[in-house]
Amino acid sequence: MVPDEPPLTAHELGEEAAALIDELSRISAEEDKLTRLYLTPEHRNAADLVARWMRQAGLDVREDSLGTVRGRLPSSMPAYGEKCLLIGSHIDTVIDAGKFDGALGVICAILAARELRKRGIDLPFDIDVLAFGDEEGVRFPTTLLSSSALAGTAPYSELDARDANGISVAEALREFGGRPENIQDLKEVPEKLVGYLEVHIEQGPVLEREALPVGIVTSLAGAERHWITVQGEAGHAGTVPMDARKDAVSAAADLIVSMETAAKSARSDGVVATVGELGIHPGAVNVIPAQVKMTLDLRAATDRPRAAAIDEIKARAARISRKRGCPIEFDQFHEVVTSPCSEIFQDAAKRAIASMGIRPFRLMSGAGHDGQAMKALTDIGMLFVRCRKGISHNPSEYVSIEDMGMAVEATVRWVAEIAQQEMKA
């Protein structure tokens, strides 16, 4: 293929990425902060915007029945067969989010696909750019649903999951324009895939400490999510003596500090425990709380220490329960195992990054990503992009224009390296 015109510089690509990031970040459920949850009107608007960008980049665009937007760049060498390289990230966000988490990966993929086409880089496979809609798992008690559907691991039961307003995934999907009945048809054929790549902000401090704009991901930490119910006894705040109470909040507080201590004692295995949501019933100023429901997000660098950590936490909960006379129940609703990244994709990334004069550096991911679902389907690869102070899931999340440009350029070269490998295979 003959190049159309001289390639944009990394700085020009960074400026373009920054403009797209800002445009997408303005699509939110809330005026003064960024919240864009799966299958909401904001997700609908964001999906339509991303589809427009994909068309402008010269991709053939369609949307699958779970709302994933897909842009195809056809292979330039059909003689090599009909394999496809998937590359993308997510456009849903957490509540009061930063504007780079997920969005930067989708934008890098779109700009890289366009650059590959414009530079006339030979591709022995199709490229499908993907914008997933349910990575964060904030609206429904599901997560990685849109990517799990491609992997064929999303059970029909997930369509019955309900949000805080009692709306099911299936109902919200129909409203969104999706077709929940087709969820099982979305499974990709593994033999037809080269793999799944994702570019994502690091959401940690390592690349900033190493003074590097991009890094190569070795594996994604496994994770599990639980609802914990602490059952106490409602009573009058003024008349029940302190030693006669079954105060659900005091028992929950005991447990929260105890879980934190358990995680800190296993820090060498990368164990982290977080209580992100907490609700008190009945929730009146002068009533001793009858019940607390809270979430536990538990992760570790590998699966064995995570299993040991949940056992330790449950043993601590049992002791607190006996001491306070408050039954404590755990209800696990999510687990994803540690997902190693393909050595072949890591080495291709290393060559790509080195060709830019950047020191190749490998690091693991404590954050979860769609690659954890895609690992059940095909080989995965991830590139991390430096973000200021490692801050994420926070409106002060920030990536510089230079680093975004480096990330796009690295993505172009990463795919070109993989293309070279496929041609030699």
**Smallest separation, CB 136 to Mn ion (Å):** 5
The one-letter code for the residue type at 190 is P
Q: Cβ(289)–Cβ(230) under 8 Å?
A: no
Q: How far apart are CA 293 and CA 274, in angstroms?
A: 14
Nearer to ligand HGY, 306 or 324 (CB): 306
**Smallest separation, CB 140 to ligand HGY (Å):** 13
Nearer to ligand HGY, 228 or 401 (CB): 228
Among 368, 371, 381, 405, binds ligand HGY (CB under 6 A): 368
Nearer to ligand HGY, 229 or 372 (CB): 372
Among 367, 401, 415, 418, binds ligand HGY (CB under 6 A): 367
Q: Cβ(75)–Cβ(126) under 8 Å?
A: yes
Number of residues that bind Mn ion (CB under 5 A): 2
Q: Cβ(405)–Cβ(13) under 8 Å?
A: yes
Q: Cβ(122)–Cβ(314) under 8 Å?
A: no
Integer-rounded Cα radius of gyration of the chain: 23
The token pair that represents 326 in the structure block? 């408050």
Nearer to ligand HGY, 135 or 379 (CB): 135
**Smallest separation, CB 183 to ligand HGY (Å):** 21
Q: How far apart are CA 200 and CA 265, in angstroms?
A: 30
Nearer to ligand HGY, 28 or 392 (CB): 392
Q: How far apart are CA 85 and CA 374, in angstroms?
A: 12
Nearer to ligand HGY, 368 or 371 (CB): 368
**Smallest separation, CB 239 to ligand HGY (Å):** 43
Q: With H, G, I as helix, E, B as strand and everything else as coil, classify residue 215.
A: strand
Q: Cβ(390)–Cβ(204) under 8 Å?
A: yes
Q: Is 397 in the site for ligand HGY (CB under 6 A)?
A: no
Place of tokens 């799990």: 148
List residues bridging with 336 in a β-sheet: 223
Interacting partner of 102 out of Mn ion, ligand HGY, none (Cβ under 5 to 8 A depending on kind) = Mn ion
Q: Is 102 in the site for Mn ion (CB under 5 A)?
A: yes
Footprint on residues 36-95 left by Mn ion (CB under 5 A):
none
Interacting partner of 368 out of Mn ion, ligand HGY, none (Cβ under 5 to 8 A depending on kind) = ligand HGY
Footprint on residues 97-136 left by ligand HGY (CB under 6 A):
135-136
Which of 311, 309, 312, 288 has the alpha carbon at shortest distance from 299? Answer: 309
Using CB under 6 A, list all residues that contact ligand HGY. Answer: 135-136, 367-368
Using CB under 5 A, list all residues that contact Mn ion. Answer: 101-102
